[in-house]
Amino acid sequence: MWLRIGAIVLCILAVGAAVWGIVPWLEIQRWAAGEQRTFQNVMAGALRGIQAGDPSAALTLCSATAAYGFFHALGPGHGKVLIGGAALASGATLKRLSIVTVLSSLAQAATAILLVGGLYFLLQIGSADLADLTEVWLAPASYVAIGAIGAVLVFRGVRSWHKINQSKQVTHGCCGHAHGPSADDVATLTTTRDAVVLIASIAIRPCTGAFFVLVIAARFDAFKVGCLAVITMGLGTAAFNLTVATSGVVARRLAGLGARNHHGVQAISAMLHLTGGVMIFAISIVMLLPYLR
Amino acid sequence: MELKYPVSHKFCGLICLVMCLGGPAKAHPHVFVDARTGFVFGTDGQLEALRISWTYDEFTTLILFESLDLDQDGDGQFNNADRAAIIAGETNWDSAYKGDVYLELSGQDYPLGRPEAAGVTLNNNQVEVSFDLPLSQPIRIETAPVFLRLYDPFFYYAYTIVPPTDPSDLPEGCQALIVAFEPNAAESALKDKLAALGLDEIPAVENVGRLFSDEVRLTCG
């Protein structure tokens, strides 16, 4: 059985890697970096405009941060890995996942606002120390949380596979009807608890780009405008992550087409848990590595 | 985590590393630097030093203003204290950091000294830091090209080498040619390099990193 699971998981990963290989990442990244640079400069111009009292600068800043959030999200990051993996593994509808995606980006913006509001204003902690705090503590905390979610997905996948096998034996043994797990037993992210954990693990690590917008805005006596700009930045990030969530759900549905019966559906769900879990776990470990040295 | 840069460089590194949903830094440049390069030759015709200038993007410039508390009188100009603070943060780096400047001579990194004669200017809302990096030993440049590359192995900083504003006087017969990074070439070079490796070999990250940078090719004679 393990050999079979392993083979199927490897197959899904190999197809994923092949698709990954076709995409000209280097050029996309280069293009995204160029766009990011442009919007970074527009942000700077708008912040100087706010300092000079230009009334339209706030609108310019918010549009620029939204675009910045979108292009910035094009790079590989922890949020996308988690959202993509969860979309693959979970039983959640696209609508539900979309809400989780948007909320996680907004929660991330809220973390930045709270940290800057609390630490910078009340405790007079400088922006360099805020960046330090994020990098040294919050980023690895977020990776650990995400790795743990990956491990839980793997565990759920293994457990439902085990149940399926048990129920098969029971079926063959006597009664002639299955006591298999219900579809709900193997689905993930259908509860509020799961969704909250997912959102929190992304939100632990705020965006330092957001920090700097907030801190510079505060220096120019425009903290409120900074908050608004950071929220639109989150929405820009969410817009990109929604495409990742959609791809994950589509991939899951495609995989589901191969199932012929109830057992098949459950077996595929178990495999997708394993695949998504292994992917999330592996990437979170890669992101954690620099901290373990 | 071990911090590899001194104050402001380290600080900017963190920005890059951590920005929104930032994961592996490889894909996330945050500080954009337009770099200018020059070569300083001695009277005996040997290459003695590199002249480097970094022009930061406008956003990074604002961050620098905030983090170093520059321009306290708000006149939009730097005073001596501002310039000293920037120079200290930008050029007083610790020995593990090489300034993201790499000079390659016959396939080897040539050792460089510490920054000298540093200066700071503010033009078009962008901070420009310039300095000289002396070579550990002056060298005579001949027909075999010497490569100067500016890159951050972690890609927090994205360097673009732009033509010098006032081309330095190169000795008779010497040429400095900027070769811009080209994604396709780099990608295929990387693939060749990886394909050439044996199964038990691990690619040296630094050497892979340099495939993705602009370079200046200096030849004489």
Exposed/middle/buried for A197, CB within 10 Å: 0-12, 13-18, 19+? Answer: middle
pLDDT for res A287: 74
Q: Select from B186, B185, B175 the least CA-distant residue to B211.
A: B186
- Give the number of domains in chain A: 1
Query: What percentage of residues in chain B have a pLDDT greater than 70?
Result: 72
| Rounded Cα gap, residues B100 and B131, in angstroms | 13
Residues in chain B: 221
Which amino acid does the sequence have at B189? Answer: A
Q: In the structure encoding, which two tokens stand for residue A161, read together? A: 């596979």
Rounded average pLDDT per 10-residue block, chain A, 293 residues: 64 69 70 84 92 90 92 73 80 85 92 85 72 75 82 82 70 45 55 84 80 86 92 93 87 72 73 81 78 68
Of A258 and B2, more confident: A258
Interface of A with B in 193-222 (CB under 8 A): 202, 205, 207-210, 212, 215-216, 219
Chain A hits for B1, Cβ within 8 Å: 135-136, 290-291
Residue A182 sits at φ, ψ, to 5 deg, of: -75, 165
Could you tell me which residues come within 8 angstroms of residue A285 by beta carbon, excluding any fewer than 6 positions away?
A147
Whether B64 has a pLDDT exceeding 90, the answer reads no
Of B1, B23, B28, nearest to A291 by CB-CB distance is: B1
pLDDT grade, residue B7 (50/70/90)?
Answer: very low
| pTM higher than the cut 0.90 | no
Residue B39 clears pLDDT 80, i.e. is over it? yes
What pLDDT is stored for residue A66 in this prediction?
Answer: 94
Q: Cβ separation of B186 and A26 shorter than 8 Å?
A: yes
Domain boundaries, chain B: 7-220
Strands annotated E in chain B: 31-41, 47-56, 101-105, 108-109, 116-123, 126-139, 146-150, 157-161, 174-179, 215-220
Q: Which of B7, B59, B125 to mutate to test the interface with A (most CBs of A within 10 A)?
A: B59
Per the domain annotation, does A39 fall within a domain?
A: no
Domain, as residue range, for A233 = 78-292
Q: For position A42, what pLDDT does the model report?
A: 93
DSSP bridge pairs for B109: B104
Range with lowest mean pLDDT among A180-189, B41-50, B135-144: A180-189
The answer to whether the CB of B219 falls within 8 A of the CB of B141 is: yes
Output the pLDDT for position B5.
Answer: 38
Alpha-carbon distance of A251 to A256, in angstroms, equals 9
